[in-house]
Amino acid sequence: MVQTSTTWVNPLRDPRDKRLPLIAGPCSVVIFGVTGDLSRKKLMPAIYDLANRGLLPPGFSLVGFARRDWNSHDFGQVVHDAVKQYARTPFREEVWQHLAEGIRFVQGEFDDDAAFDTLAVTLGELDLTRGTGGNHAFYLSIPPGAFPTVLRQLHRSGLCADTGEAWRRVVIEKPFGHDLESALELNSLVGEVFPPSSVFRIDHYLGKETVQNLLAMRFANQLFEPIWNSNYVDHVQITQAEDIGVGGRAGYYDGIGAARDVIQNHLLQLLALTAMEEPVSFDPKDLRTEKAKVLSAVRTPTDAAAVGRDTARGQYAAGWQGGVKVPGYLEEDGISPSSTTETYAAVKLMIDTRRWAGVPFYLRTGKRLGKRVTEIAVVFKRAPHLPFAHTDTEELGSNALVIRVQPDEGITIRFGSKVPGPSMEVRDVNMDFSYGQSFTEASPEAYERLILDVLLGEPSLFPQDEEVELSWKILDPIEKVWGSMKTQPEPYLSGTWGPPSADVMMARDGRTWRRP
């Protein structure tokens, strides 16, 4: 189904509108792992959404590579169904038809030389017939064990050679290894085949609008930065809570656990953006320098006593979620009944810099918790003096600034206010900024932003190798102690807020977890 591309202009896009983001130049995306969940639920819909927003070039082509006995038509149908089910923007037949013209499928195993030769021929044809210009992004949405084979094949078939005129980029999904050693190996393996500027590591949290807004909030305003330090901040809580369980991902998740799955990447990136110094500019190099600096100042618990005191790990037991009885982790399909994998992890980290000395950063993540919510709460010290009767401030908590990453994206500021009436009673109130109310523009999905940035060659939102390695340096000592304990993580009932030891960890510091 080779067709010559026509010049197609999306009617929704007004080229005079300067606020609209850049359009990707001629290119194609090759996805390895097209039969996986991520492809169906996130990547294919994001590509359609980009097309629908007029951000893909007219001859854009999508190539799927997998073992499945499909032809391009079958694969097109899979993309179509995924788009219909999961795309963010409305389905428009003309956008779909145009996208479908550039869909191809190459069938084969990862170690099959002939299949990669066919891929090279297919991409060459697309360059000729659809004008993709030799620019190709290879998206590895595959288990890390398959990376070496695919990278070797791309190299062998000459597909990663940057010609100077055309670009070749590789997109890598996490996990970036399972510890520092394996991350170094992976980085050097990728580095043998692609230059650093062609490697795009996905941490989809960085693609979220609310996460990027952290930078705007901190550095575009005068209001927050003066109090963003240990003189005013008591502690910071970063929470990523999910109400779902492991679902169909047992094969990936078991043996990995909550800390490697979420803390090593998403939560440490959120910590870095919250705690870093102002970058000289938003140039990728300057941004990464500041993130790496703050990550290298993180002090992590190392010996068994410190890990016992400053971390908590749990595993969900059966319980009720949204009125439905749900199984415990050990009863889930594909999970060994003796698995010691944690589904909840909390850690207390200190940052050894002048700005943050003495301010703990508490990070927690878990599955099957009370509700799905991700937030960064900066909790301030109490006023040094309260000129009120003690009874008037009994209901006054600490001031807090909460960045609501998801859902209900926005920012809340909590402070004390006088309760109307004759007494001087002061109680906590909230002041809210909500994306939904303040903006008419809808937030794109994280994957839309990140895929577009790959095609534009814009690397700011992609962690580079140093950040990944520093994050493993923070987590490795904790994992080592946990691994040596060989004990079952503490069970917690599904639908609750994690194991009691996490509350004990906070209580020891005279603090409590927020109930988002």
Between residues 208 and 414, which has the closer beta carbon with respect to ligand BG6? 208
**Residue in 219, 226, 183 with CA at minimum distance from that of residue 201:** 183
- For residue 154 the two structure tokens come to 């791309």
Q: How far is the CB of 262 from ligand BG6 (least distance, A)?
A: 6
Q: Does 374 bind ligand BG6 (CB under 6 A)?
A: yes
Between residues 343 and 496, which has the closer beta carbon with respect to ligand BG6? 343
Spatial separation of the C-alpha atoms in residues 338 and 269, rounded to whole Å: 32
Q: How far is the CB of 28 from ligand BG6 (least distance, A)?
A: 26
The number of helix segments (H) and strand segments (E) in the chain equals 17, 18
Of 49, 234, 261, 465, the one binding ligand BG6 by CB under 6 A: 261
Between residues 179 and 242, which has the closer beta carbon with respect to ligand BG6? 242
The sheet with strand 199-202 has its strands ordered as: 103-107, 61-66, 28-32, 136-140, 168-173, 199-202
- For residue 191 the two structure tokens come to 């580095």
Between residues 261 and 310, which has the closer beta carbon with respect to ligand BG6? 261
Number of Cβ within 10 Å of residue 159's Cβ equals 19
Q: How far is the CB of 436 from ligand BG6 (least distance, A)?
A: 18
Annotated catalytic residue, options 98, 266, 385, 390: 266
Spatial separation of the C-alpha atoms in residues 303 and 297, rounded to whole Å: 18
**98 flagged as catalytic:** no
Name the H helices within 157-260.
Answer: 180-193, 209-219, 250-253, 257-258
Spatial separation of the C-alpha atoms in residues 18 and 35, rounded to whole Å: 38
**Quick one: CA dihedral 452, 453, 457, 462, positive or negative?**
negative
Instruction: Render the burial of 45-65: b for 16+ CB within 10 Å, e for the rest.
Output: bbbbbbbbbbbbbbbbbbbbb
* Residue whose Cβ sits closest to ligand BG6: 261
Q: How far is the CB of 242 from ligand BG6 (least distance, A)?
A: 5
Q: How far is the CB of 367 from ligand BG6 (least distance, A)?
A: 7
Between residues 261 and 448, which has the closer beta carbon with respect to ligand BG6? 261
Spatial separation of the C-alpha atoms in residues 436 and 60, rounded to whole Å: 32
Instruction: Render the burial of 312-348: b for 16+ CB within 10 Å, e for the rest.
Output: bbbbbbbbebeeeebbbbbebeebeeebbbbbbbbbb
Between residues 261 and 453, which has the closer beta carbon with respect to ligand BG6? 261
Between residues 254 and 261, which has the closer beta carbon with respect to ligand BG6? 261
Cis peptide before 407 (omega within 30 of 0): yes
Calculate ∠ Cα 275-281-287, nearest 5°. 45
Q: Does 408 bind ligand BG6 (CB under 6 A)?
A: no
| Window 238 to 257, contacts with ligand BG6 (CB under 6 A) | 242
Q: Does 341 bind ligand BG6 (CB under 6 A)?
A: no
In terms of Cβ atoms closer than 10 Å to its own Cβ (0-12, 13-18, 19+), residue 137 is buried
Spatial separation of the C-alpha atoms in residues 107 and 101, rounded to whole Å: 18
Q: How far is the CB of 207 from ligand BG6 (least distance, A)?
A: 9
Between residues 368 and 514, which has the closer beta carbon with respect to ligand BG6? 368
Q: How far is the CB of 33 from ligand BG6 (least distance, A)?
A: 14
User: What pairs with residue 315 in β-bridges?
Assistant: 491
Q: How far is the CB of 328 from ligand BG6 (least distance, A)?
A: 17
Terminal-residue alpha carbon distance, the chain: 52
Q: Which residues contact ligand BG6 by CB under 6 A?
A: 242, 261-262, 374
Catalytic residues: 266
